[in-house]
């Protein structure tokens, strides 16, 4: 199985300098979703046909398992697939291959159609069976703009594009999604013979259907389970609509696995979220990169977590931010307006209010007071703060790294710690408190009277 992904189109309606297929859905480029789908199918060769955005598209997504074919200028979908044939044909099976694998097929996907399900494509591939042309088609209420599937006595005879269709053909409601599977050898035979004598002057991939029929090759169809599977992105509106579909799918999968979501419409997962048992997530939380939540973790409202691990029974938020490299142990509490970055916090420790903990190693049963800040950055370099087990840090403390607070130490509120604090002792750096006897609070001076 080879996959050709068409991604040469311009995407004018995005009104953006970013090539269309690089616009992110759930934090990943549209084309990245399609490439990952091809990988999940276990594709042999994956060839991306690119053009608009050129090297920027390639640079953004290049990987050792991908081939790239440049299409310049863009003369139609048939012309686009033709550009991929040298890469695809190079994967022609060798004589040592087993009989079944000598039948090579090619699946055509679109770089701006990000949400096609692997199951749907597997059904299409099964329908093609290695020796047939299989089209993914759908029955829709409003077929406008799509190629129509023309059938005779139930059998597909050709596809006619909207712009080439007569009124009878325009009334057909079975449309071409564009996705298809064909035997690779047949594609190699058909594509060079396509013409462009049609309303758009393009080399239509869809014309291979009539060629297959003329050769007596069966043309079969399969259908997506949901309409959004074959919807493409041409505008920011369509991008936002598919983002919502995707997020709802992710939310449904989380709930099916036992996660409690306060509102499945108010969670955004832009990466991988791994949850244990009895995890609950309140509204408006964003998860980026790979986030792991242990059993019984509670994420309260309005949190942002990126590349973080949260141990069992911990509570995060409301309004907390865990940045990359955060590792929380079990029963850790991170409260409102606390930011943690590249830090580990061991079991039963708490930072409940207004703190920045960056590049810190924090032990067990530590209490981080409100307003504590690790001063980890001198404008040029970053330094670590070490806080050992059973430390109590008073409110409004600055820890000027590199610095270590010894086991069981207490830091008095308002301390600016510039040298290590010894274990088990109280360390405090604070101006002495004074009371000034007889001091009077200033009073407002009388306003000057207006003279007539």
Where in the sequence numbering do the catalytic residues fall? Answer: 353
Residue from 79, 158, 298, 333 in contact with ligand UD1 (CB under 6 A): 79
Site for ligand UD1 in 40-59 (CB under 6 A): 49
Nearer to ligand UD1, 206 or 374 (CB): 206
Residue from 41, 60, 75, 301 in contact with ligand UD1 (CB under 6 A): 75
Nearer to ligand UD1, 140 or 286 (CB): 140
**Per CB under 6 A, does 228 bind ligand UD1?**
no
Site for ligand UD1 in 357-416 (CB under 6 A): none
Show the tokens assigned to 153. 């006595």
**Per CB under 6 A, does 74 bind ligand UD1?**
yes
Q: How far is the CB of 271 from ligand UD1 (least distance, A)?
A: 25
Nearest to 34 by CA among 106, 107, 109, 108: 109
- 376 by Cβ neighbours in 10 Å (0-12 / 13-18 / 19+) ranks as buried
**Per CB under 6 A, does 111 bind ligand UD1?**
yes
DSSP letters, 158-202, are EEE-GGG--HHHHT--EEEEEEEEEEHHHHHHHGGG----STT--
Q: Which residues, 6 or more positions from 170, have their beta carbon under 8 angstroms from its beta carbon?
A: 143, 148, 162
Please work out, in degrees rounded to the nearest 5, the angle formed at the alpha carbon of residue 29 by the alpha carbons of 291 and 146: 130
Q: How far is the CB of 207 from ligand UD1 (least distance, A)?
A: 8
Nearer to ligand UD1, 37 or 410 (CB): 37
CA 19 vs CA 10, 54, 58, 273: distances in Å: 7, 9, 11, 28
- 151 by Cβ neighbours in 10 Å (0-12 / 13-18 / 19+) ranks as middle
Contact 47, 67 (CB under 8 A): yes
Q: How far is the CB of 217 from ligand UD1 (least distance, A)?
A: 19
In this structure, is the dihedral angle defined by the CA atoms of residues 169, 175, 179 and 183, taken in order, positive or negative? Answer: negative
**Per CB under 6 A, does 221 bind ligand UD1?**
no
CA 149 vs CA 157, 197, 231, 264: distances in Å: 8, 19, 17, 37
Build a one-symbol-per-residue string for 167-206: x at contacts with ligand UD1 by CB under 6 A, - elsewhere.
--------xxxx-------------------------xxx
Contact 37, 118 (CB under 8 A): yes
**Per CB under 6 A, does 147 bind ligand UD1?**
yes
Q: How far is the CB of 117 from ligand UD1 (least distance, A)?
A: 17
Nearer to ligand UD1, 8 or 85 (CB): 8
**Per CB under 6 A, does 114 bind ligand UD1?**
no
Nearer to ligand UD1, 175 or 338 (CB): 175
Residue from 57, 69, 107, 110 in contact with ligand UD1 (CB under 6 A): 110
Q: How many residues bind ligand UD1 (CB under 6 A)?
A: 27
DSSP 431: P
**Per CB under 6 A, does 313 bind ligand UD1?**
no
CA 365 vs CA 110, 331, 350: distances in Å: 53, 10, 7
Build a one-symbol-per-residue string for 1-20: x at contacts with ligand UD1 by CB under 6 A, - elsewhere.
-----xxxx-----------
Nearer to ligand UD1, 75 or 354 (CB): 75
**Per CB under 6 A, does 224 bind ligand UD1?**
no
**Per CB under 6 A, does 116 bind ligand UD1?**
no
Query: Site residues (CB under 6 A) for ligand UD1?
Result: 6-9, 49, 71, 74-77, 79-80, 110-112, 146-147, 159, 161, 175-178, 204-206, 232
């Amino acid at each position: 199985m080879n996959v050709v992904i068409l991604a040469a189109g311009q995407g004018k309606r995005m009104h953006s300098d970013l090539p269309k297929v690089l616009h992110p859905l759930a934090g990943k480029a549209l084309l990245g979703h399609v490439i990952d789908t091809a990988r999940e199918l276990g594709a042999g060769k994956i060839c991306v046909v690119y053009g608009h955005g050129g090297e920027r598209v390639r640079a953004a997504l290049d990987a050792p398992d991908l081939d790239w074919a440049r299409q310049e200028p863009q003369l139609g979908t048939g012309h686009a697939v033709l550009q991929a044939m040298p890469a695809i044909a190079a994967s022609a099976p060798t004589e040592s291959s087993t009989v079944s694998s000598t039948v090579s097929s090619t699946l055509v996907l679109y770089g701006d159609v990000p949400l096609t399900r692997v199951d749907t494509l597997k059904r299409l591939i099964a329908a093609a069976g290695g020796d047939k042309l299989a089209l993914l088609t759908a029955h829709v209420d409003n077929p406008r703009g799509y190629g129509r599937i023309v059938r005779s006595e139930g059998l597909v005879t050709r596809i006619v594009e909207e712009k080439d269709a007569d009124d009878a053909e325009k009334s057909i409601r079975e449309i071409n999604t564009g996705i298809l599977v064909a035997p690779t050898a047949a594609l190699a035979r058909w594509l060079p013979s396509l013409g462009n004598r049609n309303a758009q002057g393009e080399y239509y991939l869809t014309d291979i259907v009539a060629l297959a029929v003329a050769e007596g090759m069966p043309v079969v169809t399969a259908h997506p389970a949901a309409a959004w599977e074959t919807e493409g992105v041409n505008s920011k509106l369509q991008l936002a609509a598919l983002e919502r579909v995707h997020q709802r799918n992710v939310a449904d999968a989380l709930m099916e696995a036992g996660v409690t979501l306060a509102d499945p419409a108010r969670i955004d997962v832009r990466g991988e979220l791994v949850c244990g048992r009895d995890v609950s997530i309140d509204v408006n939380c964003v998860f980026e990169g790979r986030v792991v939540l242990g059993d019984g973790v509670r994420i309260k409202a309005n949190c942002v977590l990126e590349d973080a691990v949260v141990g069992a029974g911990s509570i995060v938020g409301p309004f907390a931010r865990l940045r990359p490299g955060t590792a929380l142990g079990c029963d850790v509490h991170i409260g409102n307006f606390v930011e943690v970055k590249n830090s580990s916090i061991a079991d039963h420790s708490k930072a409940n209010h207004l703190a920045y903990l960056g590049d810190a190693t924090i032990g067990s049963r530590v209490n981080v007071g409100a307003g504590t800040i690790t001063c980890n950055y001198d404008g040029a370099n970053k330094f670590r703060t070490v806080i050992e087990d059973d430390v109590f840090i008073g409110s409004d403390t600055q820890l000027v790294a590199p610095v270590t607070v010894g086991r069981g130490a207490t830091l008095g509120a308002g301390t600016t710690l510039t040298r290590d604090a010894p274990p088990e002792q109280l360390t405090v750096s604070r101006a002495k408190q004074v009371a000034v006897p007889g001091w009077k609070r200033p009073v407002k001076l009388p306003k000057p009277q207006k003279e007539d």
